Structure 1
Amino acid sequence: MGRKDRGGSVGTPATAALTRAKIAYAVRAYEHDPAAESFGLEAAQALGVAPARVFKTLLVDTGTGLAVGVVPVDGTLDLKAIASALGVKKVAMADPDAAERSSGYVVGGISPIGQKRSLPTVVDVSATTHDTVLVSGGRRGLDLELSPEDLVRATGATLAPIARPAA
């Protein structure tokens, strides 16, 4: 995998963080449709990738601060499971404005990599069943493909079973 997109500059805090860490990644860009109901499923379809390999970044409020959950786009975040993985009693989904302020990214383009503030991060263990996974590159229509091990390294994440199938 290369470090640059041949189509020009795609510099985001996420790509800058990966480059600084000397982590190999591939830029996977697509034309974002503002009418898309699910940013993650849109990415999977546009890029021709199984939804189980595309991961969404969700911020939760632990009551004492924010944390990050990274789960497949074809599933949902299990709030009890991430609370347990973080060692807290319960969590709630973070307010979207708070998520944007904390991460420096816009909702639908929040990357787990290169956030303004380093937050506790948990990646769903299912990521390890794939050679590579895709996460947001820091804006809508831009994903980054990298190995699950490098995703964990880049985010300082722990692995835990925090996803459940979508209803």
Structure 2
Amino acid sequence: MAASGSGKSFLTNDIITSYISAGATIWTIDIGRSYEKLCKDIGGDFIEFGEHSHICLNPFQIVKNYNEEADMLVGIVVSMASMTDKLSDLQYSRLRSIIKLLWDEHGTGLLVDHIAESAIADEDQRVKDLGHQLYAFTTQGEYGKYFRKFSSSPASDTA
């Protein structure tokens, strides 16, 4: 974190532009609308979350090559499971294994529910805990509405 006006948005705009020019797909969570102009300038979709939004953010559906994108996917799920504490090496390793096994089974249809259920079924309590910690992002949780459906368009507002 840095003070307002210290160039965070400028640096991030530069990074985003570099990745876009290399053909990458970028998703940015924008609190404060710092990236709205850039999004419009490069022809992106600026989607607002609100009480009546029907946005679907299934991070698995945009995967083209799991082996190249596994670190990103695992990182997203780790952030969901533990927003404040670092996972133990065992938890991280097991979560990575679970996601790979479920990817092989479900592919781009993989949902957070699948990961939570598999973790809860694990014999190790530390891994079970991860499954419970993912609850908020499952179909039953408060953020589940953003992750529960497979959409024909990533970040779709019509799913």
State the TM-score, normalizing by the size of structure 2. Answer: 0.26
More strand by share: 1
State the TM-score, normalizing by the size of structure 1. Answer: 0.25
More helix by share: 2
